[in-house]
Structures are given as C-alpha cells and as structure tokens.
Amino acid sequence: MATDEEERVAFDEDDGGGGGFFGDLFLNEEYQPFTFYFGKPDVVGEDGQVVETAKEERLTETLLASKQCCTDWDLTGQIVWPAAFQLSYFMHNPKYTPLFKGKRVLELGSGAGLSGFVAAKYAKDVVLTDGNEIVMRLLNRNVDFVKTASPQSCPATATRLFWGEEASVKELVEAHGVPEVLCGADIIMWPNYTLTLMQTIAFFFAYNPAMEAYVSYVVRAHSTTRLLYSCAEECGLAVDVITPDQFLPPEDWQPKSLLQVDECNRYVLKIFKKRAEDV
C-alpha cells in the first residue's frame, strides 16, 4: 500500500508534471505584471489625463499573475481574486495595520501572493505558502519580482505547506520560526479542504496560543459557511466576523471586481483559539 507521501507525489506528477493523460495541455504559466492600488484614486479627466492627484496615503503593489487560470481546480492561485483585494484593504486600514506591523506573518494558500506582499509593507517578515507545485513556481517568481519592485518591503520567503499535516507545519516552524499572525484570502472555498485548513490553523496555535488569524472570506454556499463553523469547533477554534463597513474605503475607491461581490457575502474572519473555560 502506498504511503501518504507516495500518493501525494504521484498526484503532483499527474497534476502538472507532464505524466498525466493531458500533461500540460491546458497549463498556462505565462504571467504578466499587474499593479494594484489601495487608497483614494487619482481623478482622471475625459481625456484620460490625471487632473487631481490623491493626497491621502496610497499603497501600491506590483506582482506577476495570470489573466485567467488553468481549468484545474487546484490552480486557482494563478490569478488574483477579489478576496485578496479585501484582505489587502483590511491590512492597509489604519485601524487594523497595527495587527501586522512589526509582526512575523504567515499567509496560507498564497496563490500569487498579493495579500502577503501587502503585509510585507508593515510586517517584520513574511512567509508565503501554498500546496500546489505549479502555484509555488509563480510564488517564488513573485518573491524575486517584488524584491526588486518593492525593495522597502520586509523580507518575504515562499515555502510549500500541506494542510492537515502536522509534520508539514512542524517543518515550516523549524525552518522559519513561529508566526505571530496568520492570514489568507479566499482559502475557504472547497468543502473537502475546510477541515484540513482548520486543523492546520490549530497546529500553528499549538506553537503560539496568542497568535491571531485573519481570513478574507467570500460566501459562495451557505453550506460551506456552516461547515466552516463546524470544523472550527471540532479543532478547538472560534470565529468572529469583521464586516466590510469596518475597514473598506468608499465604493468609488474599490476595484470593480470587488464591488461585483455583494457586500453581505464577503467579510474578514478572525479565527482564534478557544479559551479553556469556553471549551
């Protein structure tokens, strides 16, 4: 019988290594730079020229991503999703920036890494993680790309992390230290991975009970939300909701892709370890 490690390696080889039936026929690793702005936009006239420059502090981040991802369900990290914009605004809001400032931050399911690189504007150091080998290639390219594009950011490293595997968490902690803050954007999407995600968060809390976790969540199915709370309970975790009105700027400052998601169906979750008296 194959071990978990052997099965995982076999899956990875079939998933993108060229050994599967279709190989890399539908795989797209041609990326282009995208620049993201967080803050009040410039006022642009009808001729496309800037007529008024925003005076408020504005954060920009440029990274590599794809306009569209592979049809494979596990390669959604090749593009930047609206939930990543939302988490980035959360980090950039002066009310919540102190949660990340000077901290050791770890991002789960980083994908292209937008939220993690925004965190690097404020944090002490940032570790970006993903479980997919193809997405990891993009993430490593972005670490080098952003290092040049945003030299003022704190050090960021990328490493592979497998959810639900305590040994994978232990290996990461030994190599990069214990995080003070976890974050993630749109990582509660697939029901089959909800429990392993909560287990992974719980493994990190075992190293640092005072750690905090913030996840940008988009409701696609209420059954997934119920499953989220059930899995959190099973893992000794609790969830609080931070609504968009507490951290998002006016709508005319927000990207269109974020506005397309109904505000009542997106928010930031604060996940924390239950106190002994609450268990």
DSSP secondary-structure letter at 112?
Answer: T
In sequence order, the 6+-apart residues with CB closer than 8 A to the CB of 123 are 100, 101, 102, 103, 104, 105, 154, 181
Confidence of residue 151 (pLDDT cuts 50, 70, 90): confident
Lowest mean pLDDT among 67-76, 81-90, 268-277: 67-76
Question: Is 90 exceeded by the pLDDT of residue 194?
Answer: yes
Q: Mind listing the domains of the chain with CATH numbers?
A: 71-278 (3.40.50.150)
Average pLDDT in the 94-110 region? 96
Confidence of residue 4 (pLDDT cuts 50, 70, 90): very low
- Two structure tokens written together for 196: 């392993």
Residue 178 to residue 181: CA distance in whole angstroms: 9
Question: Is 70 exceeded by the pLDDT of residue 17?
Answer: no
Question: Is 50 exceeded by the pLDDT of residue 18?
Answer: no
Q: What are phi and psi of 42, to 5 degrees?
A: -70, 155
* Helix count and strand count (H, E) for the chain: 8, 11
pTM value is 0.84
Question: Is 60 exceeded by the pLDDT of residue 2?
Answer: no
Lowest mean pLDDT among 18-27, 113-122, 233-242: 18-27
| Structural Rg of the chain based on CA atoms | 19
Question: Is 80 exceeded by the pLDDT of residue 3?
Answer: no
pLDDT digits (tens, 9 = 90+) for 54-79: 556 778 899 999 876 544 445 567 88
pLDDT of residue 264: 79
Contact by Cβ (8 Å): 74, 95: no
pLDDT of residue 67: 79
- CA 239 centroid distance within chain: 18
Average pLDDT in the 87-95 region? 94
Contact by Cβ (8 Å): 211, 179: yes
Residue linked to tokens 């960021």? 156
Average pLDDT in the 144-150 region? 91
Residue 148 to residue 144: CA distance in whole angstroms: 7
Question: Is 90 exceeded by the pLDDT of residue 179?
Answer: yes
Average pLDDT in the 196-207 region? 98
Lowest mean pLDDT among 55-59, 126-130, 220-224, 232-236: 55-59
Contact by Cβ (8 Å): 214, 268: yes
In sequence order, the 6+-apart residues with CB closer than 8 A to the CB of 111 are 76, 77, 78, 79, 80, 81, 84, 130, 135, 138, 139, 185
Query: In 10 A of CB 33, how many CB atoms?
Result: 11
